[in-house]
Amino acid sequence: MKNKSLIACAALSACLALPSLAQQQLTVVNFGGANANAQKKAFYEPYEKAGNKIMAVEYNGEQAKVKAMVEAKKVTWDVVEVESPDAARGCDEGLYEKLDYSKIVPKADLLPAAVNECAVGIFVWSTVMAYNGDKLKTPPTSWADFWDTKKIPGKRGMRKGARYNLEFALLADGVKPADVYKVLATKDGADRAFKKLTELKPNIQWWEAGAQAPQFLVAGDVALTTVFNGRIDAANREGRNLKIYWPGGIYDLDYWAIPKGTPNKDAAVKFIAFTMQTPQQAAYAQNIAYGPANTKALASLDKKVLDDLPTSATNAKEALQFSVGFWADQGEALEKRFAAWATQ
């Protein structure tokens, strides 16, 4: 027993002498809001219970910050949540570590879109049309209704930017979801989308922060709005009666990436692997209505949770997958055109 005590004391002294090893802290960067709260419950808290330390940091997706750290070789962020265009661009620019999926999760368990050379999809979210069930007595039945202010009077909330709005404009103009990007990639298609947006322009109330869209609905400022589906879920958990029209919603994924040169790469991989396991993925979906990237997690969710997810069979049936490739190629030009159009 004495020997064991001496060994324990020696081990303790070594730990005290090396606090950085005993208290290795992982810095995980997210987008804040309801998403960050869901991550805290599903990922951070259970991971910390196993003796790990997580330092959560919020940002607005500024990839320039990651780039500055990597180029200066002073990386202080270990795991970063990124949107799909930044995952693709960051990988091309060498900002993120290449991933070894054998240490994370079998690729076969993931949605195909979740697998990237240096980023792994965490969850699926969607930009959808929504309305206030307490205020609107004639629910929309198409994207054409979003444009029809005679049938459904009132303002329309839209995120200020070209992305998503050009797709929705073409859907409203009769283009099938499967053909949207094919049409939008042509000069005539882009002109058609802007022309359709111009029809609605006098009735648009722009939003820039995700929290604004449900606030507009609750206040009665708009009759219909585009919105991130998780924001509707968060509002309804607080007692609101906001409804989603799912067909034509545009779904996308957020990803985990590891900035190149982090001294905590191994710990970062372990954390990501933990969050991609079936129980954690299911727990995340139970805390916010975003679909798990690990397809096995769907089987463990009840119908009430599934009904609100972009990845449920019913909701995904007429959805449109956001085209990272299209927006990487044409996004800059279209956003400039949109900015000029918005000020006219």
Q: What is the reported pTM? A: 0.84
Binning pLDDT at 50, 70 and 90, where does residue 204 land? very high
Residue 154 lies in a domain: yes
- Do residues 294 and 285 touch, judged by C-beta distance below 8 A? no
Residue 14 lies in a domain: no
- Do residues 225 and 140 touch, judged by C-beta distance below 8 A? no
Residue 206 lies in a domain: yes
Number of structural domains, the chain? 2
Q: What residues make up the domain containing 64?
A: 21-124+253-316
Residue 185 lies in a domain: yes
- Rounded CA-CA distance 344/341 in Å is 5
- Residues 283 and 231 occupy one common structural domain: no
Least confident of 16-20, 35-39, 113-117, 232-236: 16-20
| Cβ within 8 Å of residue 168, ≥6 positions away | 129, 143, 146, 158, 226, 248, 250
The 10 Å Cβ neighbour count of residue 180 is 23
Averaged over 113-131, what is the pLDDT?
97
Residue 10 lies in a domain: no
- Do residues 113 and 306 touch, judged by C-beta distance below 8 A? no
Reference 156, options 179, 172, 175; nearest CA is 172
- Rounded CA-CA distance 225/168 in Å is 12
Averaged over 181-189, what is the pLDDT?
98
- Residues 239 and 272 occupy one common structural domain: no
- Residues 300 and 339 occupy one common structural domain: no
Residue 91 lies in a domain: yes
- Residues 132 and 79 occupy one common structural domain: no
Reference 283, options 306, 310, 301, 256; nearest CA is 301
What is the structure's pLDDT at 92?
Answer: 92
The pLDDT of residue 108 is above 90: yes
Averaged over 148-176, what is the pLDDT?
97
CATH classification at residue 328? 3.40.190.10
- Residues 240 and 306 occupy one common structural domain: no
Residue 13 lies in a domain: no
- Residues 42 and 157 occupy one common structural domain: no
Reference 279, options 309, 305, 255, 301; nearest CA is 301
Reference 96, options 120, 113, 112; nearest CA is 120
Cα of 91 vs its chain's centroid, Å: 18
- Residues 242 and 270 occupy one common structural domain: no
- Residues 179 and 274 occupy one common structural domain: no
- Do residues 132 and 155 touch, judged by C-beta distance below 8 A? no
Handedness of CA 340, 129, 252, 258 (dihedral sign): positive
Averaged over 191-199, what is the pLDDT?
98
Per residue in 283-335, pLDDT tens? 999 999 999 999 999 889 999 999 999 988 889 889 999 998 899 889 889 99
- Residues 97 and 190 occupy one common structural domain: no
- Residues 201 and 332 occupy one common structural domain: yes
Averaged over 68-89, what is the pLDDT?
95
- Rounded CA-CA distance 96/92 in Å is 9
Reference 213, options 322, 124, 333, 128; nearest CA is 128
Residue 176 lies in a domain: yes
The 10 Å Cβ neighbour count of residue 309 is 26
CA angle 227, 142, 243 (to 5 degrees): 45
- Residues 262 and 243 occupy one common structural domain: no
What is the structure's pLDDT at 137?
Answer: 86
Token digits for 222?
A: 């708009």
- Residues 75 and 109 occupy one common structural domain: yes
